[in-house]
Structure 1
Amino acid sequence: MTPTLGFFAWIIIGGLAGWIASKIKGTDAQQGLLANIIVGIIGGFLGGWILSLIGFDVAGGGLIFSLVTCVIGAVILLTILQAIRSKK
């Protein structure tokens, strides 16, 4: 996923997406604002990469599609992190 959004848009969308994903995965109490932003931004890249492999045009999707992409990626990222933590 090419970061076509501005810096502040990435922070806002990343924070929102990370928060939504943490609510979905039940990790909201463990995460703060900074962790939500980081998870959302990394999730955006992860979700964009996965959706581009499937054949979606992630670069021209718009603001709502970017949020959905970030949430999908953030949920996947949190699932991976939960699996790693449970193995320890």
Structure 2
Amino acid sequence: MGWLAAIIVGGLAGWLAEKVMGSDMGLLMNIILGIVGAIVLSLLLQLTGLGAGAGASFSFAYLITGFVGACLLIFIFRLVRR
């Protein structure tokens, strides 16, 4: 996925995760959470044999993976912070 598309989709995934998880992280953190969440969850899925290779363009799967990954990162962040 191109850098610009990754930033846009990561921001959207992070924003969705922020709304679902009830946190207030800000735009930059949403982008970071979405991108890092997608990367981490994609790697975990590939290690378990459930994930597919990364595509070169936007895909709905990348958005879902980023969203779920960002939710997991927010959850872990809350556990560590307490």
What is the TM-score normalised by the length of structure 2? 0.87
Which residue matches 1:21? 17
CA distance in 2, matches of 1:52, 1:20: 24
CA distance in 1, matches of 2:6, 2:37: 11
Residue 69 in 1 paired to residue 40 in 2?
Answer: no
TM-score, scaled relative to structure 1: 0.82
| Identity within the alignment, % | 43
Structure 2: stretches of 5+ with no match in the other structure: none
Count of aligned pairs = 79
* Structure 1 position 58, deviation (Å): 3.8
The root-mean-square deviation of aligned C-alpha atoms, in Å, is 1.3
Runs of 4+ in structure 1 over 4 Å off = none
Superposed displacement of residue 47, structure 1 = 1.2
